[in-house]
Amino acid sequence: MYPGVRRAANARRTPISTVRAIGGITVTAQIIALCNQKGGVGKSTTTFQLGRRAVLRGRKVLLVDNDPQGNLTSVAAADVVDEDQAGLADALSARAPETIRDVIVPGVWPGLDVVPTSGTTLGYVRDELVIAGAGREGRLRDALTAVADDYDLILIDCAPSLDQLTINGLTAAEHVAIVTHSKLFSTNGLAELLKTIDNVRQYYNPALDVAGIIINQHEEKTVSGQTWVTELRTAMATRTDATGNPAPITVLAQPIPKRVSISDATEAARGLDEWGTAEARDLGSLYDDHLTALEGARS
Ligand SMILES: Nc1ncnc2c1ncn2[C@@H]1O[C@H](COP(=O)(O)OP(=O)(O)O)[C@@H](O)[C@H]1O
Ligand SMILES: [Mg+2]
């Protein structure tokens, strides 16, 4: 038996799921990377609000800010993270002594922790990874393996790029959720992202699964918005892989609409359930449905 299996069975709390193997290493947390190489589609917002729903379900949640811009950290960390404070960059860099456990900070709700990013160091680490040798893709996976038993769910908010940071995110994850914005995301962009995911699966993380596409900032009242969603669903349902075999991808049921309460609540570091309006509460339920779908994607 893998040592990790025994460790999980002996864990203080009851894991929410059966033990899974990622990259040959046994862990308890479900790890989901939220990706899109475009900025502004709602990756950080979605990560934060999904994290909120998971906390409400009593999950122990870790949010990983894998974007040098550090937007997630600024809302999800309970206290301000100073620019010179150790963060994800230090946990990934071969030049810094800190482990991931050294850099984790409390989040804005009980049950939430954050691997923070602040200042410019994660950008430097991205450059360090470009010239680093073998194993560079697996640094985040190795780091998370050390803490995965402490959490039920780990969400990785990826940078708007397909560089080494995102590849680290995809290599560390069991599932990837693609966040798209109907107006901005071209079919070409999606094809490029799916190709990167295929490459990561082929070379670094054979178990990587696309949990689904989350459509965000949907303008449901416009004809173009509706047409785009229908076309995307059709294209993803009939998708084939490079060898011509069926490789459909789920578009998660209901698109998340464009609503000021989503941006306002998130910028104020509040869950939608905490925002106090009926609309926000309903939107919170929508994120809950998406969380159910993502958790259900677990193998
Ligand atoms: N569903 C939504 N409705 C309204 N505004 C949104 C929604 N999702 C995100 N936003 C806003 O869009 C902007 C970009 O979102 P963000 O989560 O930072 O994107 P990304 O992380 O992909 O760069 C932010 O100002 C955010 O508040
Ligand atoms: Mg972001």
Query: Which residues have any ligand 1 atom within 6 Å of their CB?
Result: 39-45, 71, 160, 216-217, 256, 258-259, 262-263, 266-267
Distance of CA 108 from the midpoint of ligand 1 (Å): 19
pLDDT score of 11: 36
pLDDT score of 222: 83
* Ligand 2 ion: Cβ-proximal residues, 5 Å cutoff: 43-44, 67, 71
Determine the residue of 36, 43, 45, 48 to mutate for testing ligand 1's pocket, defined as the one with the most ligand atoms within 8 A of the Cβ atom. Answer: 45
The closest-lying atom of ligand 1 relative to the alpha carbon of residue 266 is 27
- The ligand whose atoms approach the alpha carbon of 70 most closely is 2
Top CATH class, 27-296: alpha beta
pLDDT score of 8: 34
- The ligand whose atoms approach the alpha carbon of 49 most closely is 1
Distance of CA 45 from the midpoint of ligand 1 (Å): 6
pLDDT score of 6: 32
What pTM does this model have? 0.91
The closest-lying atom of ligand 1 relative to the alpha carbon of residue 257 is 1
Distance of CA 41 from the midpoint of ligand 1 (Å): 6
Q: Which of 17, 6, 46 is nearest to 298 (CA)?
A: 17
- The ligand whose atoms approach the alpha carbon of 255 most closely is 1
How confident is the chain (299 residues) per 10-residue block, as mean pLDDT? 31 41 67 95 97 98 98 98 96 95 98 97 94 94 96 97 97 97 72 94 96 92 84 90 90 94 98 98 98 89
